[in-house]
Amino acid sequence: MAAIRSRRAIVLTTIAALVVVTIVLAPMGTVGTCVDAASGYGESFCRTDLVSLVGIPSNLFLWLIPFLAVIGAGWGMARMHGRRPAP
């Protein structure tokens, strides 16, 4: 894997990773399911689930934790890039 050589490249890579995490995991829509029971009163139910843009069942925390992890990794890499080794 090629080393990232500039702080600008680190920032752009972090932004690209945030976009991917958002598309794959951010809850952007809902899917509803209703089931009608043929026998008995009160056995029917409806349910609504949050899904991402690619259709993966999601929730706020499933998206927020990786989002913050990518920000933390990008910040750490940018900060380490600015340090010079001691002589």
- Report the amino acid identity of residue 47: R
Determine the pLDDT at residue 61: 93
| Contact in structure between 71 and 18 (CB atoms under 8 Å) | yes
- E strands, the chain, where? 29-35, 45-51
Average pLDDT over residues 70-74: 94
For residue 2, is it within any domain? no
As for how many domains the chain has, the answer is 1
Kindly report, residue by residue over 14-67, the tens digit of the pLDDT.
999 999 999 999 999 999 988 887 776 777 888 899 999 998 999 999 999 999
For residue 87, is it within any domain? no
| Contact in structure between 64 and 4 (CB atoms under 8 Å) | no
User: What's the whole-model pTM score?
Assistant: 0.75
User: What is the C-alpha to C-alpha distance for residues 24 and 51, in angstroms, rounded to an integer?
Assistant: 9
For residue 1, is it within any domain? no
For residue 15, is it within any domain? yes
User: What is the C-alpha to C-alpha distance for residues 21 and 26, in angstroms, rounded to an integer?
Assistant: 7
For residue 74, is it within any domain? yes
